[in-house]
């Protein structure tokens, strides 16, 4: 299983000799400027020749995947470069074209569960955009929008909004340490009305794999005064004129995004609550209750159904506390919010109560009824756009807790939900994992988010985790479900399930890839898309 | 000004001799099958060698632009072909590649004000997709969605929903005779909560310029039973896995869309009303009142501010009735809706009333207070997704009434609105046109829709209309505004205003065009995008 290399560090990009690599790195340092001393600092280029350290969430590595699936060295970089400007990014890209060295952009690199900061091709040079390009460039209170650089985290953006005194919310995923821009490029989700992060972006600036910069949407109109400043409608209208291309720069390897605009939600009154239900067999019916309410936007956000194991893990319960006491059922719960003026919240809550009244023993739990340490309070914050880190705690369910997300999409209905649940349950039992599923129920589709927690120091457990994932991807594809996002090492398998008409979609993706990145230098293999020179021969893995 | 040709009909595509063209048409008829007789019927290929007839809305021509800007023959086709299936479309595309004959797809071809059914390149073969491919393939009442072919009009879809007894709304533009699919590809708009037609699409099937078919989004997952049938999540989730490419097939010439999914709005109670105000100088303040309400979604749709001339035209008033009676001011009005349960409608209406209370003499007008013939009733229908044709009437403001849309986008604020209004007013006065402007005010941007009505039988008036448009495009670009959509003959000029970084956006568009359409056969010049062989020499216009 172990990948071969010559034992020396750094591990090199495929097809590049140590001599050429060393020369290329010297050149890269010169290109990016700075004196001899500065070049060895974080401000320039750091060669990845030290022992790997998995770190932890706040001190995550940008050298490899902290939650490695196979060997720690499998998705390791040869170096990390820290651009300080868009011009630096262009220089790096042109350099990569010259040496045919694969580059892999990250904004923060906390894409945990999906590959972290790791490149798909071993020995790639990671471009850590976030370290030095981390400014909130603009917040427009009237337009309810912002423009950010890659390194702006949810915590940063939240703070900037607070400091500026704007009456606006941000939307945050479970963890606040990720990049607002990076998460949206991976089409991540949050828990207010603006939870679809790509859907609520407005405007992108992209460095193409050839080194050219383009502004999409209204950003392509010059500013009134001319020059490089920014057109005032860039964060107002998403589509611009002509083909709307923003989407091709998400979940892809077609460009490096250096600026991105986002819409911010006008602050609103809100009530977040849980509806607990003790019987697993009511699950199907509950989905069918949620469906029409969700379509009518009675909920202000995407309700989540969470298996209580996740919550118990967060509240510090041990495995035996939960599973060795079979007389008490393990409950599940729906967590959701209503927003808006009091009358409207009341009206919506009434509708929800009535709809759930047919579920026996369903119980509404409101934040003011539970102690401050209760998990619900952290959801209240998230559902009001306040970033946090509480959800990190469920990683503690296993020692050296790492995890993989298995994230298939289905239509919203009880039958599909049940089928997915059964597949995951069976495979988890087979490979010896506890289940921590959550369903995020949008008006027409559910993100089933299965969190597979494993001990990354246990080689056998890692092997089982990968096998479990691969089996679930195949099982669900057979039933017509597909993943919305996946770990970088599982991307080929997931992409291969989207194979209608002999893989027509991948052929389209490859056509775009070869046109935009003729030398195949940008993130080869990301989303299962390999550039021509890798398809034609240069092997990886 | 007049384009040259040899005087014979049909007018040929550039670079194709009459001999080759005749041979190619025979071949096309054979490829599409059918006996000798059938070949001369609408089921196959009709050569455009008869005198041109501008027709009228319901009998619109698919041979040229009924609302011609210059000469009637400028944007004329050589032939029209009527595919009956996706396979036919593939065959036509491969045929076009063989003969290097430009093809121009339309769904219905009622794109009036933006070029109608006309190709940009004279002598192109128009593919009229809608005539035979016109089925509503599916309506899913639970998922609140549909899947349609190109020929489904708003009237058709409305009828299908009614017949099926679904508790759903469609969203329609002002006129119901357009194509649900074609309008969305041009990123058209309507007047319910689902007014952003591209934003509310879900899933596309595209025949690429090489003849390959691809399904985007979840459509790329095979159906459960395998084969050609349809994956059940295709209309549930927009993005699928990997790059989200749907947007590049809108306002472009990168593919022919043969199926498209749309989300339908759960039917809701509604109240549509007008707020009239008599003084032009209150206009700026009214925009600033609407802005925060719109951002908070107090309105259920995009409010429109309409200059009353449009309404007066619709109600059959003559020009002198309006302008020769200066003691009565020409009022303007805001038309909008509140949706949802009674309590919520009341609450939102209260908020709106309060906000407008600072405008002197602003008057709320409700449908039950005005006679059935009043224009407001037609808006009530449109704002509840019921298609109609009332808005055709303002074309009668001039004899042989034709029109051009001038549609710049700005941020939502009084200053920008006023600036746009002043530019349009000045240029209309200069070139001798009455103004019929409308502002559609979304949460963060306004579509300013200026309807320039002209007499297409009056050569001087046409010349002035074009000059007026070209001047307004330049004037507004200088102020940083850009058009969201334009007439096909003005596309080059509009595209050239999106020129940040030396036309980086157009370079990206051209890269995509050349990769997807190496022979440059699909709709050359659409959205200002010319394929390589046209950029490199073959002239047009
Ligand atoms: C406990 C837990 C809970 C989580 N909950 C959520 C959740 O609720 N919602 C959610 O969405 N995710 C969730 N995640 C996953 C993950 O933490 C977040 O998505 C995180 O925001 C992603 O990392 P990042 O923001 O640092 O992005 P990055 O890792 O910087 O970027 C993500 C990917 O996008 C690409 N990319 C990044 N920047 C650029 C660029 N500038 N140009 C081109 N490509 C780029 C890269 O390929 C990169 O791998 C969770 C993870 C954990 C561990
Ligand atoms: C009085 C009046 C009011 C109007 N009000 C509105 C309004 O409220 N909102 C609005 O959006 N428009 C409005 N319009 C403009 C126009 O009538 C509509 O947009 C109409 O729906 C467009 O024509 P169509 O649907 O027949 O599309 P088509 O003409 O069939 O298509 C539009 C364009 O998209 C492209 N296209 C079409 N089908 C395909 C395909 N299958 N594959 C690839 N490309 C394709 C073609 O280039 C075509 O030119 C109005 C027009 C008038 C005269």
Considering only residues A171 and B375, tell me which one the structure prediction assigns the higher pLDDT: A171
Please give the pLDDT value at position B36.
Answer: 52
Please give the pLDDT value at position A329.
Answer: 62
Token readout for A8 is: 């020396």
Interface of B with A in 208-247 (CB under 8 A): 208, 212-216, 218-224, 231-233, 235-237, 239-247
Would an 8 Å CB–CB cutoff place B502 in contact with chain A?
Answer: no
Whether the bond into A300 is cis, omega within 30 of 0: no
Between strands A201-207 and A125-128, the pairing is: unpaired
Render A437-489 in DSSP notation, one character per residue.
EEEEE-SSEEEEEEEEEEETT-HHHHHHHHHHHHHHHHHHHHTT-EESS--GG
Please give the pLDDT value at position B396.
Answer: 81
Interface of A with B in 282-321 (CB under 8 A): 291-292, 295-296
What average pLDDT does range A20-47 have in this prediction? 78
Would an 8 Å CB–CB cutoff place B187 in contact with chain A?
Answer: yes
For A282, the 3-state DSSP assignment is helix
Please give the pLDDT value at position B1.
Answer: 42
Please give the pLDDT value at position B405.
Answer: 95
Nearest to A221 among B214, B444, B500 (CB): B500
Q: Which ligand minimizes its atom distance to the CA of B254?
A: 2
DSSP B223: P
Tell which of A128, A162, A183 closes a domain. A128
Calpha distance B339→B321 (Å, rounded): 36
Same domain (yes/no): A117, A192? no
Token readout for B353 is: 């009333």
Indicate the length of chain A as a whole number: 541
pLDDT band at A294 (very low <50, low <70, confident <90, very high): very high
Give the residue on B whose Cα is nearest the Cα of A198.
B239
Q: Which ligand minimizes its atom distance to the CA of B83?
A: 2
Is there an atom of ligand 2 within 6 Å of B102 CB? no
Render B55-82 in DSSP notation, one character per residue.
-BTTB--SSS-TT-SS-TTTT--SEEE-
How distant is the Cα of B135 from the closest Cα of chain A, in angstroms? 22
Q: What are phi and psi of A364, to 5 degrees?
A: -85, 130
pLDDT band at A1 (very low <50, low <70, confident <90, very high): very low
Residue A4 located in a structural domain = no
Nearest to B291 among A142, A409, A480 (CB): A142
pLDDT band at A142 (very low <50, low <70, confident <90, very high): very high
Same domain (yes/no): B227, B301? no
**CA A182-A188-A192 angle, 5° bins:** 115
Token readout for B134 is: 């016109």
How many Å lie between the centroid of ligand 2 and the Cα of residue B181?
Answer: 9
H helix or E strand, kind and range, residue B401: strand B401-406
Specify the CATH number for the domain of residue A87: 3.30.43.10
Same domain (yes/no): A70, A212? no
Q: Residue B327's CB: how many other CB atoms inside 10 A?
A: 4
For A302, the 3-state DSSP assignment is coil
Please give the pLDDT value at position B4.
Answer: 63
* CA B458 from centroid of its chain's CA atoms: 25
Sheet hosting strand B125-128, strand order edge to edge = B45-47, B79-81, B125-128, B103-106
Residue A70 annotated among the catalytic residues of the structure:
no
Between strands B304-307 and B437-441, the pairing is: antiparallel
Is there an atom of ligand 1 within 6 Å of A90 CB? no
Residue A525 located in a structural domain = no
Residue B484 annotated among the catalytic residues of the structure:
yes
Token readout for B451 is: 């309807």
B contacts of A261 (beta carbons < 8 Å): none
For A220, the 3-state DSSP assignment is helix
Cα→Cα distances A6→A3, B39, B44, B164, Å = 10, 69, 66, 68
Give the residue on A whose Cα is nearest the Cα of B503.
A220
Render A402-442 in DSSP notation, one character per residue.
EEEEE-EEEESSHHHHHHHHHHHHHHHHHHT----EEEEE-
pLDDT band at A470 (very low <50, low <70, confident <90, very high): very high
Is there an atom of ligand 2 within 6 Å of B118 CB? no
Residue B141 located in a structural domain = yes
Please give the pLDDT value at position B513.
Answer: 98
DSSP A522: B
Please give the pLDDT value at position B309.
Answer: 76
Between strands A79-81 and A125-128, the pairing is: parallel
Calpha distance A82→B170 (Å, rounded): 50
Number of domains chain B contains: 4
How many Å lie between the centroid of ligand 2 and the Cα of residue B115?
Answer: 9
How distant is the Cα of A111 from the closest Cα of chain B, in angstroms? 16
Residue B530 located in a structural domain = yes
Same domain (yes/no): A237, A280? no
How distant is the Cα of A527 from the closest Cα of chain B, in angstroms? 5
Tell which of B128, B146, B177 closes a domain. B128
Q: Show the low-confidence residues of chain B (pLDDT under 70).
A: 1-5, 34-43, 225-228, 325-330, 537-541
Q: Is the Cβ pair B187, A495 closer than 8 Å? A: no
Whether the bond into A226 is cis, omega within 30 of 0: no
pLDDT digits 0-9 by tens, A40-72 = 454 589 999 999 999 989 899 999 999 999 888
Please give the pLDDT value at position B536.
Answer: 73
pLDDT digits 0-9 by tens, A92-104 = 999 999 999 999 9
Token readout for B460 is: 């001087």
Interface of B with A in 73-132 (CB under 8 A): none
Specify the CATH number for the domain of residue B244: 3.30.465.10
Same domain (yes/no): A109, A173? no
How distant is the Cα of B480 from the closest Cα of chain A, in angstroms? 5
Residue B110 annotated among the catalytic residues of the structure:
no
Same domain (yes/no): B307, B250? no
- Cβ atoms of residues A175 and A155 within 8 Å: no
Ligand 1 site-directed mutation target among A105, A186, A402, most atoms within 8 Å of CB:
A186
How many Å lie between the centroid of ligand 2 and the Cα of residue B108?
Answer: 8
Is there an atom of ligand 2 within 6 Å of B185 CB? yes
Calpha distance A6→A4 (Å, rounded): 7
Same domain (yes/no): A93, A154? no
Q: Which domain holds residue B517?
A: 494-535
Calpha distance B489→B69 (Å, rounded): 8
Cα→Cα distances B378→B367, B385, B447, Å = 10, 11, 21
**Three-class SS of A316-348:** CCCHHHHHCCCCCCCCEEEEEEEECCHHHHHHH
Token readout for B267 is: 């039917």
- Cβ atoms of residues B191 and B383 within 8 Å: yes
- Cβ atoms of residues A123 and A76 within 8 Å: yes
pLDDT digits 0-9 by tens, A365-422 = 999 999 998 899 999 999 999 999 998 888 888 888 899 999 999 999 899 999 999 9
Q: Which ligand minimizes its atom distance to the CA of B257?
A: 2
Task: Select from A453, A480, A457, A455 the least CA-distant residue to A469.
Answer: A453
Same domain (yes/no): A350, A374? yes
Residue A526 located in a structural domain = no
pLDDT digits 0-9 by tens, A220-236 = 998 886 555 899 999 99
Please give the pLDDT value at position B329.
Answer: 62
Residue A438 located in a structural domain = yes
Specify the CATH number for the domain of residue A382: 3.40.462.10
A contacts of B251 (beta carbons < 8 Å): 239, 241-244
Same domain (yes/no): B366, B462? yes
Please give the pLDDT value at position B315.
Answer: 73
Please give the pLDDT value at position B42.
Answer: 47
Residue A533 located in a structural domain = no
Calpha distance B116→B241 (Å, rounded): 35
Residue B11 located in a structural domain = no
**CA B180-B184-B185 angle, 5° bins:** 120
Same domain (yes/no): B146, B107? no
Same domain (yes/no): B164, B51? no
Tell which of B266, B284, B300 closes a domain. B266
Same domain (yes/no): A252, A294? no
């Amino acid at each position: 299983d172990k990948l071969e290399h010559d034992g020396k560090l750094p591990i090199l990009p495929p097809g590049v000799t140590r001599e050429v690599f060393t020369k290329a790195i010297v050149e890269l340092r010169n290109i990016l400027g700075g004196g001899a001393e500065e070049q060895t600092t974080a401000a320039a280029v750091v060669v990845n020749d030290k022992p790997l350290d998995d770190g932890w969430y706040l001190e995550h590595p940008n050298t490899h995947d902290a939650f490695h699936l196979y060997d720690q060295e499998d998705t390791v970089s040869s170096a990390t470069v820290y651009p300080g400007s868009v011009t630096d990014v262009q220089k790096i890209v042109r350099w990569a074209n010259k040496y045919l060295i694969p580059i892999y952009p990250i904004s923060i690199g906390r894409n945990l569960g999906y590959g972290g900061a790791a490149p798909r091709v071993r020995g790639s040079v990671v471009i850590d955009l976030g370290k030095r390009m981390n400014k909130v460039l603009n917040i427009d209170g009237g337009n309810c929008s912002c423009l950010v650089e890659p390194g702006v985290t949810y915590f940063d953006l939240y703070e900037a909004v607070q400091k500026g005194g704007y009456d606006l919310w941000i939307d945050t995923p479970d963890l606040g340490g990720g990049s607002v821009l990076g998460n949206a490029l991976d089409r991540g989700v949050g828990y207010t009305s603006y939870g679809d992060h790509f859907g609520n972006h407005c405007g992108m600036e992209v460095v193409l794999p050839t080194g050219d910069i383009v502004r999409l949407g209204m950003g392509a109109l010059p500013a009134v005064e001319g020059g490089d400043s920014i057109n005032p409608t860039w964060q107002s209208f998403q589509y611009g004129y002509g083909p709307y291309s923003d989407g091709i720069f998400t979940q892809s390897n077609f460009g490096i995004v250096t600026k991105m605009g986002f819409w911010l939600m006008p602050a609103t009154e809100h009530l977040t609550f849980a509806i607990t239900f003790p019987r697993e067999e009511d699950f199907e019916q509950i989905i069918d209750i949620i469906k029409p309410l969700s379509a009518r936007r009675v909920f202000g956000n995407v309700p989540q159904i969470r298996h209580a194991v996740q919550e118990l893990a967060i509240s510090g319960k041990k495995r035996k506390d939960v599973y060795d006491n079979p007389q008490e059922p393990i409950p599940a719960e729906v967590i959701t919010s209503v927003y808006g003026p009091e009358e409207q919240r009341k009206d919506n809550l009434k509708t929800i109560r009535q709809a759930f009244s047919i579920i026996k023993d369903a119980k509404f739990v409101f934040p003011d009824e539970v102690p401050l340490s209760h998990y619900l309070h952290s959801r209240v914050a998230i559902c009001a756009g306040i970033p946090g880190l509480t959800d990190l705690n469920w990683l503690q369910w296993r020692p050296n807790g790492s995890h993989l997300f298995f994230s298939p999409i289905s239509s919203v209905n009880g039958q599909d939900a049940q089928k997915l649940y059964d597949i995951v349950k069976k495979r988890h039992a087979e490979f010896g994992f506890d289940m921590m599923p959550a369903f995020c129920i949008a008006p027409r589709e559910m993100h089933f988010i299965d969190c597979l927690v494993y001990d990354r120091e246990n080689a056998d457990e890692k092997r089982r985790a990968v096998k479990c994932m691969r089996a679930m991807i195949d099982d669900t594809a057979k039933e017509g479900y597909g993943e919305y996002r996946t770990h970088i090492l599982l991307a080929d398998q997931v992409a291969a399930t989207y194979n209608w008409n002999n893989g027509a979609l991948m052929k389209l993706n490859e056509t775009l890839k070869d046109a935009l990145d003729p030398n195949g230098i940008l993130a080869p293999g990301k989303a299962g898309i390999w550039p021509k020179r890798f398809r034609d021969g240069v092997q990886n893995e």
